[in-house]
Structure 1
Amino acid sequence: MTDTPNILCIGSVLWDIIGRAETQMRLGSDMPGRITRLPGGVALNIAMALARFGLSPALISAVGRDTEGDELISACQLRGLNTNFVYRSDDLPTDRYMAVEGTNGLIAAIADAHSLEAAGSKILRPFADGSLPAPYRGTVALDGNLTLDLLAEMARSPLLTEADLRVAPASPGKAMRLSPFIQAKRGTLYVNLEEAGLLCQTTFDSSRDAAAALLERGAVRAVVTDGGNPATVGQASGLITQVPPAVSVIRVTGAGDTFMAAHIAAEIHGAASDAALTQALAAAAQYVSGETKI
């Protein structure tokens, strides 16, 4: 772990509890399978992937000062992540995420990030106390598990006006939390087709249509994915659309986070927009096929 991070990951840091069955599942299915507990959360998933891609990420989040929190911080440090700026709460439990997956994808999930939401602006203390430079001029990966009020504050905060913001909603249910970044004309938005539709209050048939609509709505830059269908980067210079590699899907939780991290890392390392999208789609394909270790 390095004491000098080159990217900040702000958002959820929690335990992922994932049940996977080696067969297709539907609502009400009761199947044999495996249940695992792994470090997770959008910000943490992105940070772990960024570390695999050669960057030195630091986490900004809230983790309980409980046994699960101590174990989680240790797990992060073992993965080479900087945890110096994580807010440790004495009275809030460590957050958790629970999902059930089959060979046909995600069946259901519940994200319990209430402690992160309750901590609120306390997680930003490293900017105020001088632990981190302000305004911050590096890259920031930010997820929508923060409250709408805090995200709105960060979209316009002088602490982050010079930062390269990369923002993901965390789930379709939190897609509207990205609205402040569209209104403030800040950041690169990473959304799937459903999330893009929610932000634009419509539905889309393709990532290309969705990216174009987000730009028209005011987004500075948008990266739209659609599972195994074409993904699109929309920006002032135009739209770039590519088809992901075809692979057998072994897991899905964390795939979007891996895609986002790979895209950010490629651009930090100097890749052009089309090459960065290619690298990100390849990394996500490797992840869902089970080739990437976690």
Structure 2
Amino acid sequence: MSAAPMIAVAGDLVEDIVVWANDDIAHGTDTRSKIFRVRGGSAANVATAIASHGGQPRLLTRVGDDGVGERLVSDLSRAGVETLAQRGGSTGTIVILIDREGERTMLPDRATAKEIEPFDPAWLDEVAWLHLPLYGFETPREAAVFRALCAEAAVRGVPVSVDVSSAGLITWLGADRVHTILDEIGPQLVFANDDEAALLALEGALPPPGRTVVVKHGNAPVVISSAGGQLEVPVPAISEVTDTTGAGDHFAAGFLVAYVSGAAFEAAARAGIAAASEVLRHPGAHLAG
């Protein structure tokens, strides 16, 4: 049996501190909670999920020259992720507050991730697909690095996908700037949830030729739009949701593992939905075990 195509993911590897609040947050005093420390960063989450769902991932990242960074890279190796990491500074941290309905609020400190340097072009050797979270375009320095990586991918004929990542990030960058980024790097696939899609008006018109937009709507159907029209893929009911962290990352991973291996859009979306549903009962963005 031939190996799965290699999917490279470029972006953050950080530590997530996940806080499950047992009650409503009591401001100015104590709130009972459970706290977990897990691997985080959208890019690392997608890479780990690709491995969990049968794919072959490679993570291109920058992590602190510290014990936390060493531990995170070692954890990724054990999870089946080939990690090519720049080192320097302190590893980033994201505090994730989960309320009793499973919804998340994130407090990120990306630290050394913002100090990313140009990637070695050889890090794209043997890669069949490149995936990027929009977080990598937060600052001009980072944006220049990731635009150069996409240009190298284009020279090599490697398709690119982008997850627009966060309504807060889109608001901070501005919708026009996000559209400019997408037009500059020319992704074949764009992933968004309904809030992100609304900010970018992604469902109001068909995307440009060569681009497909995949919009997740929670428990409502996933909508896939391309120049050829739209496709809706229903989402089966999920009985229990305790933590939505990483659901979008697992959706992207499941979708890409299927699509890059030759599945059609509908089958890829169903694989993404199944992958996302698995993580909703676990703390943080990866499966238990």
Normalised by the shorter chain, which TM-score bucket?
A: 0.7 to 0.9
Q: CA deviation at 1:151?
A: 3.5
| Alignment gaps of 5+ in structure 2 | none
Equivalent position to 1:215, from 194, 207, 212: 207
**Are 1:199 and 2:189 an aligned pair?**
no
1:62-94: CA deviation from partner (whole Å, max 9, x where unpaired): 1011111111111111111112x21011xx100
TM-score of the superposed pair, with normalisation by structure 2: 0.83
CA distance in 2, matches of 1:27, 1:147: 35
Where do residues 13-162 of structure 1 align in structure 2 (5 Å cutoff)?
13-22=13-22, 25=24, 28=27, 30-83=30-83, 85-89=84-88, 92-119=89-116, 121-122=117-118, 124=119, 126-127=120-121, 130-133=122-125, 138-148=128-138, 149=140, 150-151=142-143, 154-155=146-147, 157-161=150-154, 162=157
AA of the residue aligned to 2:212 = R
**Are 1:188 and 2:200 an aligned pair?**
no
Q: CA deviation at 1:152?
A: 6.0
Equivalent position to 1:224, from 211, 215, 231: 215
Instruction: Describe the SS at the equivalent of 1:48.
Output: helix
CA distance in 2, matches of 1:116, 1:214: 34
**Are 1:271 and 2:263 an aligned pair?**
yes
Aligned residues: 270
Contact kept? 1:182, 1:219, Cα under 8 Å? no
- Is the alpha carbon distance of 1:184 and 1:64 closer, same or farther for their aligned partners in structure 2, counting shifts above 3 Å? closer
- Is the alpha carbon distance of 1:158 and 1:238 closer, same or farther for their aligned partners in structure 2, counting shifts above 3 Å? same
Instruction: Describe the SS at the equivalent of 1:105.
Output: coil
Q: CA deviation at 1:31?
A: 3.1
CA distance in 2, matches of 1:94, 1:271: 37
AA of the residue aligned to 2:115 = A
CA distance in 2, matches of 1:110, 1:182: 29
CA distance in 2, matches of 1:152, 1:138: 22
| Alignment gaps of 5+ in structure 1 | 201-209
CA distance in 2, matches of 1:153, 1:220: 22
Q: CA deviation at 1:233?
A: 1.1
Contact kept? 2:46, 2:253, Cα under 8 Å? yes
CA distance in 1, matches of 2:13, 2:228: 35
Percent identity (aligned): 26
Equivalent position to 2:224, from 233, 255, 260: 233
Instruction: Describe the SS at the equivalent of 2:205.
Output: helix
> What's the Cα RMSD here?
2.7
Contact kept? 1:137, 1:164, Cα under 8 Å? no
TM-score of the superposed pair, with normalisation by structure 1: 0.82
Instruction: Describe the SS at the equivalent of 1:167.
Output: strand
AA of the residue aligned to 1:249 = V
1:155-185: CA deviation from partner (whole Å, max 9, x where unpaired): 5753021221111133212235642113554
1:221-245: CA deviation from partner (whole Å, max 9, x where unpaired): 1111122222111112321112212
- Is the alpha carbon distance of 1:71 and 1:233 closer, same or farther for their aligned partners in structure 2, counting shifts above 3 Å? same
Contact kept? 1:10, 1:60, Cα under 8 Å? yes
Contact kept? 2:9, 2:43, Cα under 8 Å? yes
Contact kept? 2:15, 2:38, Cα under 8 Å? yes
- Is the alpha carbon distance of 1:212 and 1:264 closer, same or farther for their aligned partners in structure 2, counting shifts above 3 Å? farther
1:166-210: CA deviation from partner (whole Å, max 9, x where unpaired): 11133212235642113554331111111112223xxxxxxxxx4
- Is the alpha carbon distance of 1:186 and 1:213 closer, same or farther for their aligned partners in structure 2, counting shifts above 3 Å? same
Larger RCO, structures 1/2 (Cα 8 Å, 6+ apart): 2
Q: CA deviation at 1:286?
A: 2.3
- Is the alpha carbon distance of 1:72 and 1:185 closer, same or farther for their aligned partners in structure 2, counting shifts above 3 Å? closer
- Is the alpha carbon distance of 1:276 and 1:245 closer, same or farther for their aligned partners in structure 2, counting shifts above 3 Å? same
Contact kept? 2:25, 2:31, Cα under 8 Å? no
- Is the alpha carbon distance of 1:287 and 1:191 closer, same or farther for their aligned partners in structure 2, counting shifts above 3 Å? same
CA distance in 2, matches of 1:271, 1:27: 48
The equivalent of 1:259 in structure 2 is 251
- Is the alpha carbon distance of 1:168 and 1:178 closer, same or farther for their aligned partners in structure 2, counting shifts above 3 Å? farther
